[in-house]
Structure 1
Amino acid sequence: MSTHPFDAHLARVAEAGEHAVWTPSDGALPALFLSHGAPPLFEDAGWMAELFTWARSMPRPRAVLIVSAHWEEAPLAISSADAAVTPVYDFGGFDPMYYRMRYDTPAAADLARRVMGALSSENVHETGRGLDHGAWVPLTAMYPEADIPVIQLSLPTGDPAGLLSLGARLRDLREEGVLVIGSGFTTHGLPFLTREVMTGRVEAPGWSRQFDAWAAEALSRGDVDELAAYRSTAPGMPYAHPTVEHFTPLFVTLGASTNPETPRTSTIDGFWWGLSKRSFAAA
């Protein structure tokens, strides 16, 4: 019987050894934007390796704050700060094993208080909600030990300016060893994918490749205005994003960076099921 790719990934993680924990001498952690995939990411050894290698290229964070496309709520809300909260299985049609997977992180009360403090001008409330798949799926590949406190923050708006402002209020957390993540997907036109594309028999559709190339070029120039005008200027719209929640977490990441207009290069690129995996760090 063959080994499941995720089991092989865990074996590679065990061989990697200790991961040095962030200290103040390391300086601020970057903010990340990552394309988060879906449970079948655990069947893609290459993508898991990319995410884990990325995690190991940085000091191990003291905590993670993540904004996911899969939790849109205003006023702002944060997930449960309790330990080992059951994840949200907000997907359908996949192998039953994915509905049994857990990501049992430690209690995150200290992080919750710090986040609430950073957003003191907002009406932020704590919920009993667990982490959705936009959070626990990529984090399971990056930090499979699940021993880092994690809080998820809701996505309160699709307005780029509002999300840049939200990210700016989270910026100081990076100086405390908190990894701030915007989790979405650089393209997400699920209704327009064919079986041939999803099985890799044909290349990613033109609307996905065109939007991805546009985003990469705008990021390489640090052109926040161009990115914010994506609805009207990006090629491939609206196919690349028939709804926008998978692109807008990018603006939280840029807002949390030291300078949103700094040129960016991507850490991960390529396509999965015809969707762009482009992901980057913003120091």
Structure 2
Amino acid sequence: MTAPGAATTAVADARIPAGNPFAGHLRRVAALEASDPHRAWTPEDGPLPSLYLSHGGGPLPFGSRDWLDPLHGWARALPRPRAILVVSAHWESAPLSVSAARPSELVYDFGGFDPLYYTFRYDTPDAGALAGQVVGLMPDSERVHQHARRGLDHGAWVPLKIMYPAADVPVLQLSLPTEHPDELLALGARLRPLREQGVLVVGSGHMTHGLPFLTREAWRENEVPGWSCDFDAWAADALARGDVAELARFRTAAPGMPYAHPTVEHFTPLFVTLGAATDPGAPVVTTLDGYGVGLSRRSFQAA
């Protein structure tokens, strides 16, 4: 079924030059959907996994098949969700808040890129039902602020526009209310029942995010700084062992700190993802690894 906003999204996307990598992505997706439509989630599928995804720098993922193909392939490997809830590094706000159920505008929270990307839209169906579910899962003592106008920021709409370009799945954004791992694990645990209803719970950040410490070579040649690969290897090992306590000590335990995360908001959504998992201490499945402009883009799903 076509979402009410999909036609608007298609009009914006029609302005993309034919040689742009994202234009090619849309052609490939359209051909795939024509021959093999993405199967929708049903209760017989059981709970969807929770995801942690490294969302790339601004709109950079639109320009590279190294991002486009694995992100869309990840989405296709899962049943199409009934709705998506995203906790993004780019909305730190307490008390806990939810975005507008159907905002009129996106948040273009990046600068210095091709003007084309500031015309992109992602007009998804109304997410009011999901907003009501999220509010209902929070304790009575925790008031959830509901924004009337706030749209999705690039930590949400950029990867989702690649993964679900038809814009036919309702999307709601939940703020990142704290940087404390235990509190975020508890928040994820409250969201866990949504997975049983076909809702995809996503923590969106970046496995390393030391932008102030990148050299020109890292940007130009994808040269990987030692602090980036050391932090990534540490995180990969802890995730493979299901060692949540070690991950929670990242400020003092992880090599490469504080260069890998001079501020921590791109790592901490990981704890919402793990908290929403059926067993937060179980090993995860890595779905995307490697580096972009020297930063680890490790992404994973937790059952």
Quick one: which of 225, 248, 251 aligns to 2:268? 248
Q: CA deviation at 1:265?
A: 3.1
Deviates more, 1:26-35 or 1:190-199: 190-199
1:70 to 80, 90, 95: 90
Question: Matches of residues 82-121 of structure 1 in structure 2 within 5 Å?
Answer: 82=102, 85-121=104-140
Separation in structure 2 between the aligned mates of residue 265 and residue 78 of structure 1, nearest angstrom? 28
Structure 1 residue 203: deviation in Å? 2.3
Aligned to 1:26: 45
How do residues 127-138 of structure 1 correspond to structure 2 at under 5 angstroms? 127=147, 128-138=149-159
Aligned partner of 2:164 in structure 1 is: 143
**What is the aligned-residue RMSD (CA, Å)?**
1.0
Identity %: 64
Could you report, residue by residue, the CA deviation over 1:27-76 in whole angstroms, capped at 9, with x for unpaired residues? 00000000001201100112110000000000000000000000000000
**1:21-60 superposed matches below 5 A:** 21-37=40-56, 38-60=58-80
Looking at structure 2, the residues matched to 25 and 169 of structure 1 have their Cα atoms a distance apart, in angstroms, of 22
Q: Distance in 2 between matches of 1:92 and 1:2?
A: 24
Other structure's SS at 2:71 match? helix
- In the alignment, the residues of structure 2 paired with residue 275 and residue 16 of structure 1 have an alpha-carbon distance, to the nearest angstrom, of 31
Match of 1:42, SS?
Answer: helix
SS at match of 1:199: helix
* Of 143, 156, 174, the match for 1:153: 174
Between stretches 59-68 and 9-18, larger displacement belongs to 9-18
Secondary structure of the 1:176 match is: coil
1:204 counterpart (208, 219, 224): 224
Name the amino acid aligned to 1:276: S
Cα contact 2:18–2:24 (8 A) shared by 1: no
Task: Report how far residue 16 of structure 1 moved.
Answer: 1.3
* Contact 2:285–2:302 (Cα < 8 Å) also in 1: no
Q: Name the SS for the 1:247 alignment partner.
A: coil
Unaligned runs of 5+ in 1: none
Tell me if structure 1 keeps the 8 A contact 2:283–2:302. Answer: no
Distance 1:269 1:46 in 2: 10
**C-alpha separation between the residues in 1 aligned to 2:98 and 2:138?**
11
Tell me how far 1:120 sits from its aligned partner. 3.9
Distance 1:46 1:184 in 2: 18
Unaligned runs of 5+ in 2: 1-16
Task: After superposition, give the CA deviation of every residue in 1:221-257 in whole Å (9 maximum; x if it has no partner).
Answer: 0000000000001000000000000000000000000
Superposition TM-score, scaled by structure 1 size: 0.97
Report the equivalent of 1:79. Answer: 99
Which shifted more, 91-100 or 61-70? 91-100
Distance, in Å, in 2 between the alignment partners of 1:186 and 1:52 is: 19
Which position in structure 2 is the counterpart of 1:233? 253
Rounded to whole Å, the distance in 2 between the matches of 1:193 and 1:16 is: 38
Deviation, structure 1 residue 135:
0.2
- Aligned to 2:196, the other structure's residue is in SS state helix
Of 8, 11, 32, which residue of structure 2 is paired with 1:16?
32
- Contact 2:223–2:293 (CA under 8 A) maintained in structure 1: no
Asked if 1:5 corresponds to 2:21, the answer is yes
CA–CA separation in structure 2 for the residues paired with 1:193 and 1:214: 20
Give the aligned residue type for 2:52: F
C-alpha distance in 1 between matches for 2:106 and 2:139: 27
Deviations 1:179-219 (A, max 9, x none): 0000000000000111211112x621000000000000000
Aligned to 2:13: none
Q: d(CA) in 2 for partners of 1:46 and 1:11?
A: 16
Q: CA separation in 2, counterparts of 1:236 and 1:161?
A: 22
Contact kept in structure 1, 2:51 and 2:203, CA below 8 Å: yes
